[in-house]
A and B are shown apart, each in its own frame.
Chain A
Amino acid sequence: MMNYYKDINEIKFELENSPLMERIVELKERQFEDKDQYDEAPQDYVDAMDTYDKVLDVVGDIVANVVAPNAEEVDAEGPHHENGRVRYASKTYENLAAMNHAGLNGMTMPRRYGGLNLPVTVYTAANEIVSAGDAGFENIWSLQDCIETLYCFGSEDQRQKYIPRVCKGETMSMDLTEPDAGSDLQSVMLKATFDEENNCWRLNGSKRFITNGDSDIHLVLARSEAGTRDGRGLSMFIYDKRDGGVDVRRIENKLGIHGSPTCELVYKNAKCELCGDRKLGLIKYVMSLMNGARLGIAAQSVGLSQAAYNEAVSYAKDRKQFGKAIIEFPAVQEMISNIKARLDAGRALLYQTARYVDIYKALEDISRDRKLEPEERAELKKYSRLADAFTPLAKGMNSEYANQNAYDCIQVHGGSGFMLEYACQRIYRDARITSIYEGTTQLQTVAAIRYVTNGFYSQVIEEMEKDLPQPSLKGRESSPFKGELERVFAMASKFNACTAAVKETGDQDTLDLCARHLYEMAADVIMCHLLMQNATKSPELFGESLHCYVRLAEAEVEKHNSWIKNTLGE
């Protein structure tokens, strides 16, 4: 591939074809107030969109010429553990140097701190593009978005101290999990004590499974309230590697994402700063951090799906059996069409989520400087809720799709796919973590289920039905996707009926048991609608995927429908 952005028309389509984009740019650029102060600031909406396109062109170019060609070697070498520190695989430094030369750091941060002030949607696209080249490297690079949490909750002094450093390329990590606190972060025990003598906080204890754990700037979740045992005793701290006190005890030996060092850390009286208020570490700041990180994993997953698609297509066109390229056999074609359908549907969900996040984050940021108007407050509330409801769908579904797509990609390769010389094996191993970290798919279900039971997803689907480009019955008749439309309506009815039936039992265990099924039904219907919106605007880009995806989703919905009915019947 010559350019991982330019060569994939679907990404550009996602950026440019949403009615929300104009509002996002307007909010993010605050009526283009930076234009006279910063040479690089856009003058208007068209100018901003042109800039985003050019920025992603640079990302796509670096990925094609540096990151992707290095991926195999980085995967084979992996990081090294030396004297309590991490030394990356040698080509990782080459990747980082390219990203730093290009200035692709602090992408969403305001210009006054040296950032690029890009919307989350554009950053998400960059994330996806980097991941398609090397998902392991994407991990290290994309941890820059931890700075968002410091920006939101840190003091002005902390912002001025740390944000410019991240914009210049210093790396970050979020030190959350411990040997006995994985999914259950309330059990975090790392001790934070106030050192009266030196007027600073000190950290003691250990952390485990910390991605990029030897980073320059850490956000650390620690127990500041002695004697407590739950989430309310936890606070967030900033640890600056320049101060010392944290060592890497070991680097994990993982199945995939070898480029990204996963560390066990030991804190020995490490000096740190409190970020935000005490006791809000988990219940407020980590939740915000995790929502950002989950969107990041959704993007990483879509990138992996794109990589799986690229590899599958190129192999299937090249490989000849029985006198023709294997892509000509329907059985192979089906696998490839399914990969593409899941990729396009998942990507539509990813960008819709990113846009919701953009609007509410930009409004929230404005609210730090002035009081919002009543309609802005309503807008903030609306999009904040949508973002919260869509993030677990985007993360959970795309990570599961990445795994399925990587599996199918190997299947297309046949025996060669099982050999280690093709890229598909790395994609397969790298994809495996996406449905586990930053909250397993099961935990995404937990985060999403209240939007099933309170009817929010149903309401979203209803609005999507209302917003169809041909709302009248007559219009529907002439829709090129008339058949699909009717079937998606039927899927939505099944989802609503199943939800009602499960709720009717009034039994929490039954709800927990059926949650994953209801969650997937909601996601399937929503993705059908999003893909249909795309296909209506660009049949040539998405028509095929829509046909294929509705078929897949319909079968999935029916599977869940039957599972739930039978389970309730027992």
Chain B
Amino acid sequence: MKLKIIVLAKQVPDTRNVGPDAMTPEGTVNRSALPAIFNPEDLNALEQALRLKDQFPGTTVTVITMGPGRAAEVIREAMYRGADGGYLLTDRAFAGADTLATSYALATAIKHVCPDADLIIGGRQAIDGDTAQVGPQVAEKLGLNQITYSEEILSLKDGKITVKRHIDGGVETVESPLPCVLTVNGSAAPCRPRNVKRVMKFKRCLAPMELPQGTGFGDLPYASEYEKKPYLKLGQLSCADVDADLQQCGLAGSPTKVKNVENIVFKAKESKVLTGSDEDVNGLIKELLASHTIG
């Protein structure tokens, strides 16, 4: 059985080790102060895809990422670890997208590059936005089943996939027909490391967007390599390439508006110990009624 798997991955600022300059005075993320990394749970997602590729030879794993030119690093990283290739979804029209516009763009791209994908796998959420909305929205837009919080693929046969998912206070095993969308939890197996032979082979891979303005592959060092080895040119898709509706892309397609950003301070309030006796419970009910917390 040969599967076609799409992995959705995002380049994010590394918000795990933030310094004082991590936020701008306006309350947005200061991307220049934080190193750009492969979103951690997308790496867990990639590992699940690569395990299926190990299990079913001939399977292809294709990465799709949306972002500026430098986001193509995510595709290279995935290829070093075993992915076959990928597409950089990049266009000014995609800028400023919230989760709705992002999932629209991704779903449109998937329909364009691989309408017969068996599985679409992404991380549960990205560490910059923490919404966990994009995966489920992509599933909805493609009209596919979704399994969120996936931790392990237990089996894949007869057109069905069985997945263990991580839920509050335990695990749940679910089954779905293919194709479907999986979002993978950080508790799933960590991604395998980069393979050095693949690093050597793919280190020069570039998306056209990464080239200095006004130059082509022919102007690069080792230009003849790009002629001889087509795999060194990464796939790139614009809004027009995937026939996306401009109204649903980027800022125009984003209903989310940030009102303001506040610091949250967790404070432990004064506590009171109740025994569970009828007397204490009655006292609590009276108190809560008086404060209009209940009733």
B203: which of A54, A65, A101 is its contact (CB, 8 Å)? Answer: A54
- Interface SS of A by simple majority: helix
Contacts of A47 in B (CB 8 A): 222
B197-A103 in contact (CB<8A):
yes
Given the interface pairs A39-B201, A40-B201, A50-B203, the reply to whether A58 lies near B229 with Cβ below 8 Å is no
A102-B195 in contact (CB<8A):
yes
Q: Which residue of B lies closest to A2 (CB)?
A: B17
Given the interface pairs A40-B200, A50-B203, A51-B203, the reply to whether A103 lies near B195 with Cβ below 8 Å is yes
17 contacts between A and B (CB under 8 A): A40-B197, A42-B200, A43-B225, A51-B199, A51-B200, A54-B196, A54-B199, A54-B203, A55-B196, A62-B193, A98-B192, A98-B193, A102-B196, A103-B196, A103-B198, A104-B196, A116-B196
Q: How many Å from the CB of A431 to the closest CB on chain B?
A: 27
Bound-complex Cα distance A98 to B197 (A): 14
Q: Which residue of B lies closest to A59 (CB)?
A: B196
B→A interface (CB under 8 Å): 190, 192-201, 203, 222, 225, 229
Given the interface pairs A55-B196, A101-B192, A116-B196, the reply to whether A43 lies near B229 with Cβ below 8 Å is no
Q: How many Å from the CB of B101 to the closest CB on chain A?
A: 33
Bound-complex Cα distance A58 to B192 (A): 11
Number of A-B contacts (CB under 8 A): 48
Q: How many Å from the CB of B186 to the closest CB on chain A?
A: 14
Q: Which residue of B lies closest to A46 (CB)?
A: B221
Q: How many Å from the CB of B31 to the closest CB on chain A?
A: 19
Bound-complex Cα distance A98 to B190 (A): 11
Q: Which of A21-62 contact B (CB under 8 A)?
A: 39-43, 47, 50-51, 54-55, 58, 61-62
| Most chain B Cβ neighbours within 10 Å, of A51, A65, A103, A104 | A103
Bound-complex Cα distance A65 to B194 (A): 12
Q: How many Å from the CB of B46 to the closest CB on chain A?
A: 13
Bound-complex Cα distance A55 to B201 (A): 12
Q: How many Å from the CB of A133 to the closest CB on chain B?
A: 13
Contacts of B196 in A (CB 8 A): 54-55, 58, 102-104, 116
Bound-complex Cα distance A42 to B225 (A): 11
Q: How many Å from the CB of B111 to the closest CB on chain A?
A: 32
Contacts of A101 in B (CB 8 A): 192-193, 195
Contacts of B229 in A (CB 8 A): 39
Q: Which of A185-225 contact B (CB under 8 A)?
A: none
Q: How many Å from the CB of A206 to the closest CB on chain B?
A: 38
Bound-complex Cα distance A254 to B119 (A): 50
Q: Which residue of A lies closest to B199 (CB)?
A: A54
Bound-complex Cα distance A41 to B197 (A): 9
Q: Which residue of A lies closest to B193 (CB)?
A: A102
Bound-complex Cα distance A61 to B195 (A): 12
Q: Which residue of A lies closest to B17 (CB)?
A: A2
Given the interface pairs A43-B225, A47-B222, A51-B203, the reply to whether A58 lies near B194 with Cβ below 8 Å is yes
Bound-complex Cα distance A42 to B195 (A): 16
| Most chain B Cβ neighbours within 10 Å, of A40, A55, A66, A116 | A40
B203-A61 in contact (CB<8A):
no
Bound-complex Cα distance A496 to B196 (A): 47
Bound-complex Cα distance A252 to B179 (A): 54
Q: How many Å from the CB of B89 to the closest CB on chain A?
A: 26
B194-A102 in contact (CB<8A):
yes
B193-A58 in contact (CB<8A):
yes
Q: Which residue of B lies closest to A47 (CB)?
A: B222
Q: Which residue of A lies closest to B82 (CB)?
A: A101
Bound-complex Cα distance A499 to B225 (A): 57
Contacts of A102 in B (CB 8 A): 193-196
Contacts of B201 in A (CB 8 A): 39-40
Contacts of A98 in B (CB 8 A): 192-193
Q: How many Å from the CB of B229 to the closest CB on chain A?
A: 7
Contacts of B200 in A (CB 8 A): 39-42, 51, 54-55
Q: Which residue of B lies closest to A116 (CB)?
A: B196
Contacts of A62 in B (CB 8 A): 193
Q: Which of A242-277 contact B (CB under 8 A)?
A: none
Bound-complex Cα distance A54 to B193 (A): 13
Contacts of B190 in A (CB 8 A): 65
Q: Which residue of A lies closest to B228 (CB)?
A: A36
Q: How many Å from the CB of A566 to the closest CB on chain B?
A: 54
Contacts of A54 in B (CB 8 A): 196, 199-200, 203
Contacts of A42 in B (CB 8 A): 200
Q: How many Å from the CB of A96 to the closest CB on chain B?
A: 12
Q: How many Å from the CB of A59 to the closest CB on chain B?
A: 8
Contacts of A116 in B (CB 8 A): 196-197
Contacts of A43 in B (CB 8 A): 222, 225
Q: Which residue of B lies closest to A101 (CB)?
A: B192
Bound-complex Cα distance A103 to B194 (A): 9
Contacts of B192 in A (CB 8 A): 98, 101
Bound-complex Cα distance A102 to B193 (A): 6
Bound-complex Cα distance A102 to B196 (A): 6
| Most chain A Cβ neighbours within 10 Å, of B197, B203, B229 | B197
B222-A58 in contact (CB<8A):
no
Q: How many Å from the CB of B277 to the closest CB on chain A?
A: 45
Q: Which residue of B lies closest to A40 (CB)?
A: B200
A58-B199 in contact (CB<8A):
yes
| Most chain A Cβ neighbours within 10 Å, of B192, B195, B196, B199 | B196
A61-B193 in contact (CB<8A):
yes
The proximity string for A residues 511-553 relative to B, scoring 1 for CB distances below 8 Å and 0 otherwise, is 0000000000000000000000000000000000000000000
The proximity string for A residues 53-80 relative to B, scoring 1 for CB distances below 8 Å and 0 otherwise, is 0110010011001100000000000000
Bound-complex Cα distance A65 to B192 (A): 11
The proximity string for A residues 94-107 relative to B, scoring 1 for CB distances below 8 Å and 0 otherwise, is 00001001111000
Q: Which residue of A lies closest to B14 (CB)?
A: A2
Bound-complex Cα distance A256 to B263 (A): 49
Q: Which of A87-126 contact B (CB under 8 A)?
A: 98, 101-104, 116
Q: How many Å from the CB of B249 to the closest CB on chain A?
A: 36
Contacts of B203 in A (CB 8 A): 50-51, 54
Q: Which residue of A lies closest to B222 (CB)?
A: A43
| Most chain B Cβ neighbours within 10 Å, of A65, A98, A101 | A101
Q: How many Å from the CB of B135 to the closest CB on chain A?
A: 25
Q: Which residue of A lies closest to B81 (CB)?
A: A101
Q: Which residue of A lies closest to B192 (CB)?
A: A101
Bound-complex Cα distance A51 to B222 (A): 14
Q: How many Å from the CB of B92 to the closest CB on chain A?
A: 32
Closest 8 A-B residue pairs measured CB to CB? A40-B200, A101-B192, A39-B201, A102-B193, A103-B195, A55-B196, A40-B201, A58-B194
Q: How many Å from the CB of A101 to the closest CB on chain B?
A: 4
Q: How many Å from the CB of A144 to the closest CB on chain B?
A: 14
Please give 14 more A-B residue pairs, beta carbons under 8 A apart, in addition to A62-B193, A102-B195: A40-B197, A43-B225, A50-B203, A51-B200, A55-B200, A58-B194, A61-B193, A61-B194, A66-B193, A101-B192, A103-B197, A103-B198, A104-B196, A116-B197
Contacts of A41 in B (CB 8 A): 200
Bound-complex Cα distance A172 to B265 (A): 57
Bound-complex Cα distance A103 to B229 (A): 22
Q: How many Å from the CB of B200 to the closest CB on chain A?
A: 3
Contacts of B193 in A (CB 8 A): 58, 61-62, 65-66, 98, 101-102
Contacts of B199 in A (CB 8 A): 51, 54-55, 58
Q: Which residue of A lies closest to B203 (CB)?
A: A54
Contacts of A40 in B (CB 8 A): 197, 200-201
Bound-complex Cα distance A51 to B199 (A): 8
Contacts of A65 in B (CB 8 A): 190, 193
Bound-complex Cα distance A102 to B198 (A): 9
Q: How many Å from the CB of B47 to the closest CB on chain A?
A: 10
The proximity string for A residues 148-167 relative to B, scoring 1 for CB distances below 8 Å and 0 otherwise, is 00000000000000000000
